[in-house]
């Protein structure tokens, strides 16, 4: 009966699909079970296919997914052919490497050998989602807020992005006296993402493994002719990778997502793209501190007087953010500038003309909060000040 009590201003329920926090808040967690059980594991795969690309195999009413990790290490998933009527089966149970190998091979329809498992699991899951991410001073994140098909590891990606989105906002409120309303943007930004992930994974799974009878036979005939060749194309692989990796998520305009220009790439609300600045430096090297970052891009070649003026303006922002100049020089060297070897870094941020300049504010979670055409330091300062009250 000795209970330990903690006093906290905020509570985050990141306590999994059976979340006590979610249940305590009486949040709706609507959805249903998938019809099939799944077998999943990270293993070495020895077969006569390459390991460079993701692969989806369909055979009758079953599906198998191959996702390359590194070397021979891969994540594989397949439906359990023995458990269509196993509603009373435990959600998780032990899985042998031999059972996974046999079931995976039957769907792939090729001889193969699995070895050196990191982990194996046999489970049944649901697709469910809460209706709210925040109730007063309590939040839910990760599997406590959303669960769905494990294909592609999107549940983990979504949960990690939940945490990255919420953490900096809590820090801003607790340490920098940002307004509590900033925390409302956690739900407005992340709940739609979870809804989209569930819709996407359900759609993919139902097309691949939700067909029966004649529909399954037609799919098996058409997939090798239409889908197979398409997935060998690099741009398809890249698009699928970005979709599964959730790299193309765009947050809506709000108090913390603003822009005075419209660009196809690197606009406010989008994930800040990486690009090489010089041989040993890229954009992500500058964003590694989990802080706000102001990037001043100048494709226009700068002289030393211009660099001094830009540096002076950026110094006023250092109370809020790390600041960097990424540019080209008219002559000589200047340690205040991260000198770009090529123009690709500017094009990655929509600066396509030799005279172009711009300011970009990147949030700690890697998303662009604000940007401007040209060096509008006054607006940049006002935007940061609107978030950080002190």
Of 337, 363, 358, the closest CA to residue 348 belongs to 358
Report yes or no: 3 and 9 within 8 Å, Cβ to Cβ. no
Q: What is the reported pLDDT for 90?
A: 46
| Residue 43 belongs to a domain | no
* DSSP per-residue string spanning 215-262: HHHHHHHHIIIIIHHHHTSHHHHHHHHHHHHTTT-BPPPBTTBEESS-
Would you say 380 and 372 are in contact if contact means Cβ atoms under 8 Å apart?
Answer: yes
Number of domains in the chain: 2
Q: Which residues of the chain have pLDDT under 70?
A: 1, 35, 81-93, 149-153, 203-246, 260-263, 390
CA–CA dist 141, 128 (Å, integer) = 13
Q: Is residue 256 within 8 Å of residue 280, measured between CB atoms? A: no
Helix 154-176 and helix 234-245, axial crossing angle in degrees, nearest 10: 50
Asked if residue 2 is part of any domain, the answer here is no
Is 291 in the same domain as 379?
yes
Same domain, 206 and 262: no
Q: Are 73 and 42 in contact, with CB atoms under 8 Å apart?
A: yes
Task: List, as one string, the DSSP characters of 305-325.
Answer: HHHHHHHHHHHTTTTT-EEEE
370 and 271 assigned to the same domain: yes
Q: What is the pLDDT of residue 88?
A: 46
318 part of a folded domain: yes
Residue 224 lies in a domain: no
Q: Is 116 contained in some domain?
A: no
CATH code for the domain of 203: 3.50.50.60
Instruction: Please report whether residue 117 resides in a domain.
Output: no
CATH number of domain containing 340? 3.40.30.10
Domain housing 300:
258-387
Instruction: Return the pLDDT at 36.
Output: 72
Query: Which pLDDT does position 104 carry in this prediction?
Result: 94
Asked if 272 and 366 touch (Cβ cutoff 8 Å), the reply is yes
- Same structural domain for residues 163 and 30? yes
Question: Which residues does 183 contact at the CB level (< 8 Å), separation at least 6?
Answer: 134, 139, 166, 169, 170, 173
Sorted by sequence, the CB contacts under 8 Å of residue 289 that are 6+ apart come out as 322
pLDDT of residue 226: 42
């Amino acid at each position: 009966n000795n209970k330990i009590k903690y006093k906290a201003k905020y509570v985050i329920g990141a306590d999994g699909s059976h979340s006590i926090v979610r249940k305590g808040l009486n949040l709706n967690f609507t959805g249903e079970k998938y019809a099939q059980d799944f077998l999943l594991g990270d293993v070495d795969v020895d077969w006569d296919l390459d390991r460079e690309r993701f692969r989806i195999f369909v055979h009758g009413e079953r599906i198998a997914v191959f996702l390359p990790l590194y070397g021979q290490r891969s994540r594989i998933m397949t439906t359990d052919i023995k458990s269509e009527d196993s509603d009373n089966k435990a959600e998780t149970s032990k899985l042998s490497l031999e059972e996974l190998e046999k079931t995976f091979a039957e769907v792939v329809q090729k001889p193969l050998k699995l070895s050196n498992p990191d982990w194996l699991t046999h489970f049944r899951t649901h697709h469910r989602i809460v209706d709210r991410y925040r109730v007063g001073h309590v939040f839910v994140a990760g599997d406590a807020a959303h669960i769905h098909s494990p294909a592609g590891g999107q549940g983990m990606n979504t949960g990690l992005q939940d945490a990255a989105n919420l953490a900096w906002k809590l820090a801003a409120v607790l340490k920098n006296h940002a307004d509590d309303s900033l925390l409302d943007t956690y739900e407005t930004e992340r709940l739609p993402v979870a809804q989209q992930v569930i819709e996407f994974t359900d759609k993919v799974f139902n097309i691949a493994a939700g067909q029966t009878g004649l529909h399954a036979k037609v799919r098996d005939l058409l997939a090798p002719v239409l889908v197979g060749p398409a997935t060998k194309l690099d741009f398809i692989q890249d698009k699928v990778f970005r979709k599964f990796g959730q790299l193309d998520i765009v947050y809506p305009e709000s108090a913390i997502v603003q822009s005075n220009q419209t660009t196809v790439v690197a606009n406010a609300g989008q994930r800040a793209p990486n690009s090489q600045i010089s041989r040993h430096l890229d954009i992500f090297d500058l964003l590694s501190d989990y802080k706000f970052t102001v990037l001043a891009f100048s494709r226009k070649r700068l002289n030393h007087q211009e660099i001094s003026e830009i540096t002076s303006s950026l110094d006023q922002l250092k109370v809020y953010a790390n600041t960097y100049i990424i540019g080209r020089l008219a002559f000589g060297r200047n340690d205040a500038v991260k000198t770009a070897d090529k123009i690709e870094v500017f094009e990655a941020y929509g600066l396509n003309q030799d005279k172009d300049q711009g300011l970009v504010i990147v949030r700690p979670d890697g998303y662009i909060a604000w940007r401007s055409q040209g060096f509008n330091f006054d607006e940049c300062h006002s935007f940061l000040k609107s978030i950080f009250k002190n």
